[in-house]
Structure 1
Amino acid sequence: MWGALLRRGLRGAGGLRWLSSGGPPWSQVVSEAEKIVGYPTSFMSLRCLLSDELSNIAMQVRKLVGTKHPLLDTARGFVYDSRNNLQMRGLVVLLISKAAGPSTAELSFQHDMVSGIYSSQRSLAEITELIHTAFLVHRGIVNIGELKSCDGPLKDMQFGNKMAVLSGDFLLANACTSLAQLQNTKVVELISSAIGDLVQGIYYENSKSSEENCLTDDIGISRWKEQVFLSHSALLAKSCQAAMELAKHSAEIQDMAFQYGKHMSMSHKLHSDLQPFVKESSSDTMAFSLNSAPAILHQEFCGREAWLKQIREAQGKGNIVDYKKLQEAIKAGKGVTSAIDLCRCHGNRALAALERFPPSEARDALANIVYAVTRFP
C-alpha cells in the first residue's frame, strides 16, 4: 500500500516535488531555514538560558562531570548537537507561521510582524522549545537500583536525579508562565493537551522498559503510531495549529498546519529509528530498540513465533541479547524497507498539507525539512 502511495505523486499548484532518495542534507536545510525566519533558533531560549536561575543550575550540573549521569549528555547536546538540531520544533513553528502569513482578520495588526512572523508566534516557538527541553531533562532521571559502580558515586547520581527534576520543572514553569501571557484560551488548551500527551507517551515508554518482557513486547505498527504521536508528534502538531490560531487563520488552515507537524515529526522519528539499519559509514552495530519501527514491522512480516525464535537464538549466557545478530535478521527481512516506505508515506502527507499554503521561501524550507528526514543512503 505504501509503495503505491509513494508512486502517485502530488499535483498541487505550488509544484512541491514528490519524495525520492535525494534532497539536501539536514544541516544545510536548517541553516537555510534559520535565515528565512530571521535569526538562528539556537538563540531561541537565550533569555531563559541567561537567567540567574538557569545559570545556577548549569553550575550545579558541572558537579556531575566524571559520572555517567544522562543529564550531562543532555546538557552537552544543547551545545554541540548540530546533527539532530534540538531546536527543530521551534524552527518549524516559525516557518509555518511565516508560510501562512497574516489572515484577513489580522491585517490591521501587521505592524506587530517581524520577518513575516507575529511576536506572539515567536513566543509560542520559544514555549514549544522550553517544553521539549523540559521533557528531555526529565528523561535524564536514572533508576538508582540499576546503577553500577562504574556509573559514578551513588550520592552524585542521586544529586543528578534531583537536578533533572528541578531543572526540568523550572523550564516547564517558565513555559507555562509565557503561555498564559499569550492570553489566548484556545492556544492554552492546545499546548496544555500536548503536555498531557507527552506525559502519557513517556509514562508508557518507561512502564514498558521496566517490564521483564519488554524485549518481546507485541504492540504492532498501529499501536506504535499511537504511542509515537503522543511522545514525539503531539507537541509539534498542536504548536503548529496554535501558531495559526494566534494569527486568526481558518479552521482548515489550522488543521493543515496540525497535519504537517504530525506527519513531519512521524517521518523524523521513523528516520531516527532506521539509522542503525541503513548507516553505511560505521562497521559497528548501532544501538537500537526492539520496539523501534523496523523491528515491529519485521515482527509483523515474519510472525510472532518466528520473531520470538530469532530473539532466543540471539540470546547468549545470562539472556544477554546479541544485537548484531538480531540486527542482521531484521535487515534480511522486509521490516527496514517497509519502515522506509512508511517514513516517506508520512513525508508525502506532510507535503500534501503544505499544498494549502501559498508558494514562498518558508513553504519551500518546510518541504526541504521533509526531504531531509526522508533521505536515506
Structure 2
Amino acid sequence: MMSLSGKNILLGITGGIAAYKCPDLVRHLKKAGAQVRVVLTESASHFVAPMTLQAVSGNAVSKELFDPTAELSMSHIELAKWADLVLIAPATANIIAKMANGIADDLLSTICLATPAKIVIAPAMNQQMYKAAATQQNLATLESRNTLVLGPDEGFQACGDIGPGRMVEPTTIVENINNYFLANSELAGTTITVTAGPTIEELDPVRYISNYSSGKMGFAIAKAAAEMGATVNLISGPVNLTTPNNVNRINVKSAKQMYDEALVLAEKSAIFISCAAVADYRAETIAKNKIKKTDDSNELVIKLVKNPDIVASIAGLKEHRPFVVGFAAETNDVKTYALKKLTTKNLDLICANDVSDHNIGFNSDQNALTLYWQNGEQTLPLSSKQQLAKQLLQAVITRYKASHDEKKN
C-alpha cells in the first residue's frame, strides 16, 4: 500500500495533450495521502481547466509569476519552499529545455530554479521531438543534476505517430514518487516496534483492571515512523483506533500477552518504543465465575501479583538488543521519576509527560514531552500528538545514530 501522508507535492502542468490525465493524477496523489498544489502554464490551460484542478486538489491553482495574493507577491518562493517534491507532468520539450538551460520566464520554470526539493519530470511529446538530439541532451543534463525522469512510454500518439513520447500513467508516477520517498527516508530499512494503548487484567468473566490510555500517542508514533520509511510493528492493547497505513498491527489484551509479543519482535527491531500504559499488577487468580457481592462484608480482597516489566526486559536483552525508548506518564515529580526509570530500567531514552494536566496525555489529541537520556534532555512543547510523534522520532534518530557512533569509538 502506498502512503504519501504528510508530503507536499507541487504538480506543474505544461502544454501537452497528456494534461488531460492530470486530474486523475491529482486524485491518485491525494488518495495516497499527499497535499497537492497545482501550477498551470499558459499553454496547459488550453488542455485542462483550472477549475477542475482546483476541485480535485482542494487548493487554488497558481498561474501567474507575479501573484498579488501570494506571500509578499512572490508565489514562486512561497511554493518553492512549500514543496517536498516538484512533479512536472506532462513535461514538454519546452519546459525540459528551459530547465536544462536555467531559463526562468514563468511561474513554473522559476519555481524549478528556486526550490530545494526533489524534481521529477514525466516527459510527453511527439516521438520525433523526443528523439531530437537537443531533447536528449537536455534530458541527460537534467539527469546529471539528479532530476528523476519517468518514462516516456511508447505507443500510439494523439498526432497519429507511433513511438516513444507518451506520458507514463498516473498510477506509475505515484508509485515511483512513493518509492523515492521510501528509499530516501531517514528510517528506510529500519524496523521499529511500538507498543500502544492500555492493557486489561481480568478479575472474572465480566470485570477487569485497566487505565485511561487511548493509544493515540503510540498510534501517532507508528504512523509517523511508517511515513518516514520504517518497517513498523504496532503491538496494541484494546483501543478504538484505525491502524495506520503500512503498519503491522498485533492486538493483545493483557500485559503478559504484550510481553510475549514484544520479546519476539524486539529482537528483530533496531528501535523499540514502549508507549503502552501497561498494568503493573494482575490478579493472582482469575475467577471462573462472576464474583458475587456478599451481604456480610463491606470488603472484597483480591490478591494482585506483579506483571513482567516489558521495557526493562527488552532493555536487558544480552543479544539483539534494540535502542530502547520508554515513557513515563506521571502526576507529580515528573523529572525525578523519569530519571529514575531511565537508570533503573537501563533505557536509552525516556519520554516524560505530566498526565495530571487534563489538556494533554491520556485521551487528549495533544501532548507535551520532555526527553531524557544520559547527560541530556530536550523539551517538546505542546502540540498535536501527530506533530509531536514526528519531533520525537527525529530526536530518537539523532540519539540512535549517536549511540552507534559511540559503540564504534
- Select the structure with the greater relative contact order (CA < 8 A; seq sep ≥ 6): 1
Give the structure-1-normalised TM-score.
0.24
Structure in which a larger fraction of residues adopt strand: 2
Which has the larger Rg?
2
When normalised by structure 2's length, the TM-score is 0.23
